[in-house]
């Protein structure tokens, strides 16, 4: 009985020591408070990049899909080549090419702008394919019926086909947009002080990973509501069975 009591006491002591070590390493309150201003500033930068990427990427993707619907063959080949190129390249490679490659052409862009343009091009490529799939999913009879009433090609596209196509594309477009905007963390590679960049700097200064825990919480605070909102959008605009 004595040995059992001693064993349990030793086990509890080890568990408490392990718990205190874990909390001290990943949830060091003092270090987290020191890093808080930098993390908050990084959240602002992350939100700015994400918003710019969403607006620019979706607008350019929709524009390319509409141009592609004109069926101008050489232009369509160029669009398909561009879209396939940016769908194939990893976002990090594009960011690094812009940031380190353009100075060789006497064109220097900040890490913020390089990240914005790179992720926008990736989102543009994927959203163009999604928009185009939505446009082609609309039955051909919709086009023919609209044109037979006297509507022009442009009127048919914008007033009949596009509203249906947009509704079809909402679920895949929402998922792809969220996935790409989370890649704002790649901006830390080109010295942008967003969430991950700020957390990495704090870790380097303190030799403690607690700022990375704060970074994870910050990403959840930003993107979890976005995911929930995206799910609501999908449910709100889904086709009723």
Report domain extents, the chain. 38-237
CA dist 34 and 5 (Å) reads 42
**What is the structure's pLDDT at 3?**
42
Taking the alpha carbons of 161, 166, 167, 169 in that order, is the dihedral positive or negative?
A: positive
Rounded to two decimals, the pTM is 0.85
CA dist 152 and 79 (Å) reads 24
**What is the structure's pLDDT at 122?**
96
C-beta separation of 191 from 6 below 8 A: no
Half-sphere exposure for 89 (CA within 13 Å, toward CB): 20
**What is the structure's pLDDT at 22?**
55
C-beta separation of 194 from 45 below 8 A: yes
**What is the structure's pLDDT at 230?**
82
CA dist 115 and 61 (Å) reads 17
Task: Report residue 208 as tokens.
Answer: 């403690």
| Binned average pLDDT, 10 residues per bin, the chain of 241 residues | 43 46 71 88 93 95 94 93 95 94 88 94 95 89 82 85 87 88 89 88 84 90 88 72 48
Q: What angle do CA 188, 192, 198 make, to 5 degrees?
A: 70
Taking the alpha carbons of 93, 179, 174, 213 in that order, is the dihedral positive or negative?
A: negative
CA dist 109 and 107 (Å) reads 7
Helix ranges (H only) for the chain are 2-26, 29-68, 73-88, 91-96, 111-137, 140-148, 153-156, 162-181, 195-206, 210-237
61: which residues sit within 8 A by CB, 6+ positions away?
123, 124, 125, 126, 127, 128, 130, 131
C-beta separation of 125 from 61 below 8 A: yes
Least Cα distance to 239 among 168, 175, 173, 169 occurs for 168
Please say whether the structural domain 38-237 has been given the CATH code 1.10.3720.10. Answer: yes
């Amino acid at each position: 009985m004595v040995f059992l009591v001693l064993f349990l006491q030793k086990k509890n002591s080890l568990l408490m020591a392990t718990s205190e070590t874990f909390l001290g390493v990943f949830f060091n309150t003092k270090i987290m408070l020191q890093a808080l201003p930098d993390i908050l500033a990084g959240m602002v930068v992350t939100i700015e990049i994400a918003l710019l990427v969403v607006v620019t990427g979706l607008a350019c993707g929709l524009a390319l899909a509409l141009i592609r619907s004109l069926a101008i063959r050489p232009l369509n080949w160029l669009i398909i080549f561009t879209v396939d190129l940016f769908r194939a390249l990893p976002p990090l490679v594009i960011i690094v090419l812009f940031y380190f490659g353009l100075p060789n052409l006497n064109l220097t862009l900040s890490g913020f702008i390089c990240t914005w343009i790179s992720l926008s091009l990736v989102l543009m490529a994927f959203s163009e394919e999604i928009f185009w799939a939505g446009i082609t999913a609309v039955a051909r009879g919709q086009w023919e019926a609209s044109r037979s009433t006297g509507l022009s090609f442009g009127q048919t596209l914008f007033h009949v086909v596009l509203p249906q196509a947009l509704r079809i594309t909402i679920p895949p477009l929402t998922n792809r947009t969220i996935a790409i905007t989370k890649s704002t963390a790649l901006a830390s590679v080109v010295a942008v002080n967003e969430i991950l960049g700020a957390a990495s700097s704090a870790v380097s200064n303190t030799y403690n990973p607690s700022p990375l825990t704060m970074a994870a919480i910050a990403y959840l605070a930003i993107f979890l509501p976005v995911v929930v909102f995206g799910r609501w959008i999908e449910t709100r605009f889904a086709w009723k069975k």
